[in-house]
A and B are shown apart, each in its own frame.
Chain A
Amino acid sequence: MIGNDIVDLQLAAVQSDWRRRGFLDKLYTQHEQELISNAKHPFKMVWRLWSMKESAYKAFLRNDAKRFFNPRKIMCTIRDKELGIVTINKIKYQTRSEITGTVIHTVALEQKEVSCISQLMSTKAQGTKDLSAELKKTLVKQIAAIKSIEPLDLEVKKDTAGRPHCFQGNKQLNITFSLSHHGNYGAYVILN
């Protein structure tokens, strides 16, 4: 199973105040709060950990799990600047985070050996106003190439639990992927 999450850091700084009273306690375990206060850049650590939780949660939901909102139940540990592990209900996800000055992209995978295709896009690079549509278009082209079918026949739709699937007409394709979009950045990952 796979999940990904993108954080546009400039937008995150505007949308949320991580220093707000009660904010950290609702989202982060004691260990994670220590990681944040000990970090060179606490702001980035806040959002790295958040994207680790979100991406692992999305992977978790793909297993037909029920939605819940209890971020402290999604527990993170950090290996190094990029790698980490997230545990949800005893299931472990390996995470890899790509962190720059403006964006964080985290991918969560259930098994270490499994690989994936990953694509990051930005409004700046794409020169587009509708990044979400552009992201889906590129994803669909990629899936079409993998499956050797016509991209125009394909459509990405989310189910009632918010999980994305790819349809060829009424037929749901057997391909597992995740997409995320926030502010000026978007990304998709496809399980190989």
Chain B
Amino acid sequence: MTKEEMIASLKKIVKPYIQDEAAFQNLNEETDFINDLKINSANLVDVILDVEDEFDIEIDNEAMEKMLNVKAAMAIISDKLAAK
């Protein structure tokens, strides 16, 4: 999976929860889920559960801890996919 494909997938996953349209349109690696996309933190759990479903991986609490932005999410996903 290329970086662009992963970002496109993530964009689809976060879409229902975002509360900042401009930040969503400009979504890039540095985009922060809570500070930029204004995803409310209770919905961040939903993002993580959706990512687990979409990529068929398990994200343990240790990995989830740093999953605050797109870059971190991509690193964790790649990591878990490689471990399969």
Q: Which A residues contact B (CB, under 8 angstroms)?
A: 12, 15-16, 20-23, 26-27, 50, 54, 67-73, 160, 162, 182
Contacts and interface: CB of A to CB of B under 8 A. Distances in A.
B29 interface: no
A82 B58 CA distance: 36
Interface in B30-53: 34-35, 40-46, 48-49, 52
B52 A69 contact: no
Most buried by B among A67, A73, A162, A182: A67
B65 A23 contact: no
Contacts of B40: 15, 182
B46 A16 contact: yes
In the complex, the 10 A-B pairs of residues with the closest C-beta atoms, listed nearest first: A70-B65, A68-B65, A26-B45, A22-B49, A16-B42, A70-B61, A27-B45, A72-B61, A162-B35, A69-B65
Residues of B contacting A: mostly:
helix
Contacts of B77: none
Nearest to A21: B49
Contact of A68 (B48, B49, B52, B66): B66
A11 to B, nearest CB: 9
Nearest to B65: A70
A26 B60 CA distance: 9
Interface in B1-45: 34-35, 40-45
Nearest to A20: B49
B64 interface: yes
Given A15-B40, A162-B35, A20 B46 contact: yes
Contact of B34 (A16, A27, A73, A162): A162
A54 B43 CA distance: 13
Given A16-B43, A182-B40, A67 B49 contact: no
B68 A67 contact: yes
B67 interface: yes
26 contacts: A15-B42, A16-B42, A16-B43, A21-B49, A22-B49, A22-B52, A23-B45, A23-B49, A26-B45, A26-B49, A26-B61, A27-B45, A54-B41, A68-B66, A69-B41, A69-B44, A69-B64, A69-B65, A70-B61, A70-B64, A71-B45, A73-B61, A73-B65, A160-B35, A162-B35, A182-B40
